[in-house]
Chains A and B, each alone.
Chain A
Amino acid sequence: EVQLVQSGAEVKKPGESLRISCKGSGYSFTSFWIIWVRQMPGKGLEWMARIDPSDSYTDYSPSFQGHVTISADHSISTAYLQWSSLKASDTAMYFCARRIAVAGGAVDWFDPWGQGTLVTVSS
């Protein structure tokens, strides 16, 4: 079974650093990009960034560029999302998902999704 399992909920203070993880299993981890999506409380989905685990090439949404960093360790089939200095406004649920691409990458979709990691930032 293809699945993505994310790390557990985190409670942090403003200014602290954090790294959350997303571990893939049941498929070749380096054959599919991983994407990260934010969902703030009671709000919709926002695409944050994507990474190619085979070479760690990354793409960021302008809204998140410079505030988060994504990475991957293909030796343990795990992708990461990290912050160096959290803000209260980073409080949200974060999802990872596997990107399936066909037609040379021109057509793609996300499946499956991780269960989500709730990050709470509060003083």
Chain B
Amino acid sequence: QSVLTQPPSASGTPGQRVTISCSGSSSNIGNNTVNWYQQLPGTAPKLLLYTNNQRPSGVPDRFSGSKSGTSASLAISGLQSEDEADYYCAAWDDSLNGYVFGTGTKVTVL
């Protein structure tokens, strides 16, 4: 069972800004860094952001992340059709002594 809660869906028209929230607790997001993964349809997850807000090489600067307290968020500005995917937050959980993923958010470009 996921202990990080995300909205099941989000949508926007091309060019709009979309924000996805990730709500956790003091044992995970509150005390550890958050990473975000993008899963395009039918493919493996791919690292999108690490250590709360760092973009790996090759990830467009349209993607940004932030963390405050026990919550984190991913923002996609200038939404593009190729951004249609499932997005997952993830963090280490000190109480569970393991990694936890968010419930996942499906982003649709209208």
Contact = CB atoms under 8 A, between A and B. Distances in A.
Interface of A: 35, 37, 44-47, 50, 59, 61-62, 95, 97, 100, 106-116
Contacts of A61: 96, 98-99
Given A97-B45, A110-B45, A110-B47, 10 more contacts: A35-B99, A45-B88, A50-B99, A59-B97, A61-B96, A100-B50, A106-B32, A107-B32, A110-B90, A111-B46
Closest 10 CB pairs of A and B: A109-B50, A47-B99, A111-B47, A44-B104, A45-B101, A109-B35, A113-B44, A61-B98, A116-B44, A107-B33
Contacts of A107: 32-33, 51
A122 to B, nearest CB: 21
A111 B56 contact: yes
Contact of B103 (A44, A62, A100): A44
A111 B59 CA distance: 13
Interface in B36-56: 37, 43-47, 50-51, 56
Contacts, number: 61
Main SS at interface, chain A: strand
A108 B52 CA distance: 11
A82 B28 CA distance: 29
Instruction: Please indicate which of the listed interface residues A44, A46, A61 has the most CB atoms of chain B within 10 Å of its own CB.
Output: A44
A37 B100 CA distance: 11
Interface of B: 2, 32-33, 35, 37, 43-47, 50-51, 56, 88, 90, 92, 96-104
Contacts of A116: 44
A23 B46 CA distance: 18
A44 B102 contact: yes
A109 B88 CA distance: 13
A109 B52 CA distance: 10
B6 to A, nearest CB: 9
B98 A111 contact: no
A113 B98 contact: no
A114 B44 contact: yes
A108 B92 contact: yes
B104 A45 contact: yes
Given A35-B99, A111-B50, A45 B44 contact: no
